[in-house]
Amino acid sequence: MLPSENKYLTNVSFDTVIFGFTGEELKILVLEYQNTGLFALPGGYIRRDENLLDAAKKGIMRRTGLKTIHLEQFHTFGKLNRSNPEPSKRIAKGLGYEMPDDHWVLDRFITVGYYSLINYNQVRPTPNKFSDSINWYSINNLPPLMMDHEEIVKKALEAIRTDLGKKPIGTNLLPEKFTMKELRKVYEAILDKKLRRTTFQRKILSMDILIRHEKLYTGAANKAPYLYSFNKEKIEKL
């Protein structure tokens, strides 16, 4: 096949690590291919007529049902041994057809990694025609992932940890309004360590990126916490 006859770019793909927060722990979306026992990150190929970033966004919007999504690129993986035609062959076989050995998807791929932090509850995980299921898995209890996808997850985790200090990444992990405790839990889940309650509160308030709203009465026998939302205008200016 001539390159120009292919709708997609060859030798390049994208893979995404989509983080969600249950209130207690971080999870990521992992899909499982039919009849293969193979687990993988959501990913895909780039059409010749679209931007790399748009290709990745489109793919993730389809997998999650979200209408908008913010993706951050964190690393591109290009080791020689990361490509392996076996999984793709097994996936094709699992779907009931044989793939010719010179098919372009069996060639070597360099993949661009993106991460996103999204609202766990707004997502409708949607399998594609190749996959059996797509589900949330705790980052501390992932199934074995195919190829180098575990390395990709590891790099994504490192990236969100270092980015957390710079940008208020947590913006999309929580509902519109949230309590200070919930926000702290997000930070604790990402950094994987406890934070001092009072210091966290002082620090985050001094950043002046939160708007305080009404109190939240949960029925608990104690002082009700305020609800907050992110001041998106101020965050833009950072």
Partner DNA sequence: TTTTATTGTATCAATTTGATACAATAATGC
Partner DNA sequence: GCATTATTGTATCAAATTGATACAATAAAA
Q: Given the rule CB under 8 A, which residues bind its own copies?
A: 1-4, 9-12, 46, 48-53, 73, 75-80, 102, 104, 107-108, 110, 112, 162, 166
Binding of DNA by 81 (CB under 7 A): no
Select from 193, 186, 172, 195 the least CA-distant residue to 26: 186
Tokens of 12: 């390049």
Binding of DNA by 165 (CB under 7 A): no
- Judged by beta carbon, residue 70 or residue 177, the one nearer its own copies is 70
Contacts of 115 (CB under 8 A, 6+ apart): 16, 17, 18, 19, 71, 72, 74, 156, 159, 160
Q: How many residues bind DNA (CB under 7 A)?
A: 22
Residue 132 has phi, psi (to 5 degrees) of -70, -45
Q: Which of 122, 128, 224, 232 binds DNA (CB under 7 A)?
A: 224
Selection from DNA, its own copies, none that 53 binds (CB < 5 to 8 A by kind) is: its own copies
- Judged by beta carbon, residue 67 or residue 223, the one nearer DNA is 223
User: Distance between alpha carbon 180 and the CA centroid of its chain, in Å?
Assistant: 24
- Judged by beta carbon, residue 154 or residue 212, the one nearer DNA is 212
Per-residue contact flags (x/-) with DNA for residues 196 to 215, judged by CB under 7 A? xxxx-xxx-x---------x
* CB distance 199 to 187 below 8 Å: no
Selection from its own copies, DNA, none that 4 binds (CB < 5 to 8 A by kind) is: its own copies
Per-residue contact flags (x/-) with DNA for residues 170 to 199, judged by CB under 7 A? ---------xxx--------------xxxx
Instruction: Give least dist CB 238 to its own copies, A.
Output: 14
Instruction: Give least dist CB 213 to DNA, A.
Output: 10
Binding of DNA by 225 (CB under 7 A): yes
- Judged by beta carbon, residue 20 or residue 43, the one nearer its own copies is 43
Q: Which of 219, 233, 237, 238 binds DNA (CB under 7 A)?
A: 219
Identify any residues that bridge with 31 across adjacent strands, giving them in sequence order.
Answer: 40, 134
Which residue ranges make up the site for DNA (CB under 7 A)? Answer: 179-181, 196-199, 201-203, 205, 215, 217-226
